[in-house]
């Protein structure tokens, strides 16, 4: 009987802690992050990134060696620790790394993202949209056409 009561109290405590931290994260998301939208396209040798909102660049194309991350911010490709100090208030302030893995693409959000890590599989010439909150709808923001 005592074990059952102790177990119930432990469950209530766990749910209480999880519930309050989730609410806090939701409140911070909307206010703390500026809008950006990036479309990632996997090519034969690397990736192409298309930006339609929130950055100074519109398209980036580069080769990715497996498990070698490339840092991307609102100004384009960068090195970690070498980001531009002057910030443009018209742009989203974000920083993430993109890395090719055996299974697909791994992104790590370092600044300006509600997500810390996104991982997804992607076939050659497949596309995935991401924004400050994570993976975005594939068709709602698609603006790139391959002819």
C-alpha to C-alpha distance for 95 and 97, rounded to whole angstroms: 7
Residues 85-109 have pLDDT tens digits of 778 889 999 999 999 888 889 999 9
Q: What is the dihedral of CA 122, 118, 56, 127, to 10 degrees?
A: 20
My answer on whether 21 and 68 are in the same domain is no
Residues 23-82 have pLDDT tens digits of 334 344 455 789 999 999 998 888 999 999 999 999 999 998 888 999 999 999 999 877
Residue 86 vs residue 140, higher pLDDT: 86
Per-residue confidence (pLDDT) for residue 81, from 0 to 100: 79
C-alpha to C-alpha distance for 128 and 37, rounded to whole angstroms: 10
Q: Tell me the residue range of the domain where 125 lies.
A: 37-136
My answer on whether 28 and 81 are in the same domain is no
Residues with Cβ within 8 Å of residue 131, at least 6 apart in sequence: 35, 36, 37, 38
Per-residue confidence (pLDDT) for residue 8, from 0 to 100: 67
Range from 10-14, 69-73, 135-139 carrying the lowest mean pLDDT? 10-14
Does residue 58 lie in a domain region? yes
Residue 13 vs residue 126, higher pLDDT: 126
What is this structure's pTM?
A: 0.71
Per-residue confidence (pLDDT) for residue 12, from 0 to 100: 66
Q: What is the mean pLDDT of residues 5-23?
A: 53
My answer on whether 106 and 132 are in the same domain is yes
Q: What is the mean pLDDT of residues 119-146?
A: 78
Does residue 141 lie in a domain region? no
Q: Which two tokens stand for residue 27?
A: 């409140």
């Amino acid at each position: 009987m005592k074990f059952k009561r102790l177990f119930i109290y432990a469950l209530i405590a766990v749910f209480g802690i999880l519930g309050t931290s989730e609410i806090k994260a939701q409140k911070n998301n909307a206010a703390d992050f500026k809008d950006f939208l990036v479309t990632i396209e996997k090519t034969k040798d690397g990736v192409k990134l298309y930006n339609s909102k929130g950055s100074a660049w519109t398209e980036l194309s580069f080769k990715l060696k497996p498990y070698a991350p490339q840092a991307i911010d609102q100004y384009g490709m960068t090195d970690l620790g070498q980001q531009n100090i002057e910030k443009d208030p018209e742009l989203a302030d974000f920083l993430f790394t993109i890395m090719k893995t055996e299974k697909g693409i791994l992104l790590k959000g370092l600044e300006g993202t509600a997500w810390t890590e996104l991982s997804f599989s992607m076939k050659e010439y497949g596309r995935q949209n991401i924004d400050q909150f994570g993976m975005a709808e594939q068709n709602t923001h698609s603006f790139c056409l391959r002819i």
